[in-house]
Amino acid sequence: MKEIKFIECDIRCVNVPLREPIIAHIGTFKKWPYLCLDLKTDSEIVGKSYIGPYLVEQLASITQCIKALSEKFKDRIIEPTQFYKEGEKAISLLGYKGIGLYALASLDIAFWDAHSKASGSPLAIHLGGSLKPLKTYNSRGLWLKPINELAKEAKILRKEGDFNALKLRIGRETANQDIQAFKEVKRGAGDDIQVLTDFNQCYTLSQAMTRMRLLDDVGFEWFEEPIVYNDLIGNAKLTQMIYTPITIGENFHGPKDLKDALISNACDLIMPDLMRIGGVSGWLQSAAIASSFNVEFSSHLFPEVSAHLMSVTQTANWVEWTDWANPIIKKPYEIKDGHIIIPNVPGVGLDWNEDILEKYAVNINA
Ligand SMILES: [Mg+2]
């Protein structure tokens, strides 16, 4: 494998309109911000990554953070694991969570992309995995919209990739409305569709206990984030009390958060987020921890890199699929028979749709 040196990074930020608005307990979103990074090397190889840090107004601060952090690695031969270790140390004075970690993750993903391109292999193969298609569910819809719209939407969502599972957002005004929503999804998509659910942290512990007891035998595949994500004691109480599996993890900031949650028995299942877990390196550590606890590991957003990583995650469960980032990607990953297909090209296989990057550019220098 050829050795390549990191030269500099080029960062572009966008705020891309969503096909349909996100209407959730955490807020309503019509656009989604992304930060796209091109990592230049002393060869023709360019490492690429994107993160979606939720807050358009913080794109500038994260960009600055990436630029400052990247100085450490300039003119050095790319070694992603060593760079991550040094990067973690470098951000420790900012704290191991938040924008320092997002900056480290965006660099880490791009370093791994460049490193696997230098080996001529897809990232999954480079890490010791395969290109076997991975089971995925459609998570891009079924928000807190009128119940009578859900059946029609569920039917469309299933057909988009012959999905076997969909994500439904619940925590409506009454338990009966949540049950009705479940029935409508089944009516539209078919009785064999698996329904994963997300409360988006809408309850206090006592509210969650009441609601989840009423929904426990409905047939949901999992309950996601019923209460605030970092209340591990509360989540552990619910996990012990409720029969339906409980999942948390999109808000784990780094592998240590994941370890703390598992030590606390705060959930049955986990679903880390590529950006918040610390990119590829943070994920690899986390996958090892999850495996030692024998806990099933699903992904949150970022379906492309997550698919590669699920291939080397021993307890891999579901890949979450949404199309939110598709406009910025030249060739979005294909979904077939409810599975995501990893392209057989070196690295992650992401190229930018330059027109969209220009059209929805956010001026971070303003
Ligand atoms: Mg969620």
CA of 318 to the centre of ligand 1 (A): 13
Query: Tell me, what's the pLDDT at 332?
Result: 97
How many whole angstroms from 201 Cα to the centroid of ligand 1? 8
CA gap 236, 39 in Å, rounded: 41
Q: How many Å lie between the centroid of ligand 1 and the Cα of residue 221? A: 14
The pLDDT tens digits of the residues spanning 256-267 come to 999 999 999 999
Q: Which residues surround ligand 1, an ion (CB under 5 A)?
A: 198, 224
CA angle 95, 98, 104 (to 5 degrees): 85
Tally of domains in the chain: 2
pLDDT single digits (tens) 65-75: 999 999 999 99
The two most distant CA atoms of the chain are separated, in Å, by 61
Dump pLDDT digits (tens) for 139-176.
999 999 999 999 999 999 999 999 999 999 999 999 99
Q: Where residue 85 sits, what CATH number does that domain have?
A: 3.30.390.10
Measure 27 CA to ligand 1 centroid, in angstroms: 12
- Mean pLDDT value across residues 104-131: 98
* 131 and 260 both lie in a single domain: yes
Mean pLDDT of 224-248: 98
Structure tokens at 174: 């009454």
Q: 300 CA distance to ligand 1 centroid (A)?
A: 8
Residue 225's CB: how many other CB atoms inside 10 A? 26
- Cα 152 to averaged position of ligand 1 atoms, centre (Å): 23
Residue 57 contacts by C-beta under 8 Å, 6 or more apart in sequence? none
Distance 116 CA to ligand 1 centre (A): 30
Bridge partner residues of 16 (DSSP)? 32
pLDDT tops 80 at residue 276: yes
Residue 63 confidence (pLDDT) above 90: yes
Q: Does 129 have pLDDT greater than 70? A: yes
Query: Is the same domain home to 116 and 203?
Result: no
What spacing in Å lies between the alpha carbon of 70 and ligand 1's midpoint? 30
For the segment 103-119, the average pLDDT, to the nearest whole number, is 98
- For residues 175 and 110, membership in a common domain is answered with no
- Tell me if 347 is assigned to some domain: no
254 & 223 share domain: yes
Say if residue 74 is in the same domain as residue 148: no
Count of CA atoms in the C-beta half-sphere (13 A) of 142: 34
245 C-alpha to center of ligand 1: Å?
14
As a whole number, mean pLDDT of residues 284-293 equals 98
The per-residue pLDDT for 221 is 98
The rounded distance, in Å, linking the Cα atoms of 123 and 130 is 9
126 neighbors 115 (Cβ within 8 angstroms):
yes
Q: Is residue 346 part of a domain?
A: no
Residues 197 and 331 in one domain: yes
pLDDT band at 26 (very low <50, low <70, confident <90, very high): confident
The whole-number pLDDT of residue 152 equals 98
Whole-number pLDDT of residue 366: 61
**Residue numbers of the domain that contains 28:** 6-120+354-359
Span from the CA of 222 to the centroid of ligand 1 (angstroms): 11
Distance (angstroms) between ligand 1 centre and the Cα of 307 equals: 18
**73 C-alpha to center of ligand 1: Å?**
34
Pair (73, 164) in one structural domain: no
Structural domain includes residue 315: yes
Spacing, Cα 224 to ligand 1 middle (Å): 6
Distance 291 CA to ligand 1 centre (A): 22
pLDDT tens sequence across 28-43: 999 999 999 999 999 9
| Ligand 1 mean position, distance from CA 83 (Å) | 30
- Average pLDDT over all residues of the chain: 97
What would the pLDDT profile of 303-338 be if each residue is shown by its tens digit?
A: 999 999 999 999 999 999 999 999 999 999 999 999
Q: How far is the CA of 250 from the centre of ligand 1 (A)?
A: 6
CATH code of 312's domain: 3.20.20.120
Percent of the chain residues past pLDDT 70, beyond the cut: 100
For position 1, what pLDDT does the model report?
84
Return d(Cα 214, Cα 177) in angstroms, integer: 11
Q: Facing residues of 50 across strands?
A: 36
* Residue 82 falls inside a structural domain: yes
Compute, in angstroms, the gap from residue 225 CA to the centroid of ligand 1.
Answer: 7
Indicate if 75 and 179 belong to the same structural domain.
no
In sequence order, which residues have a C-beta less than 8 Å from that of residue 141 and are 6 or more positions away?
Answer: 20, 153, 156, 157, 166
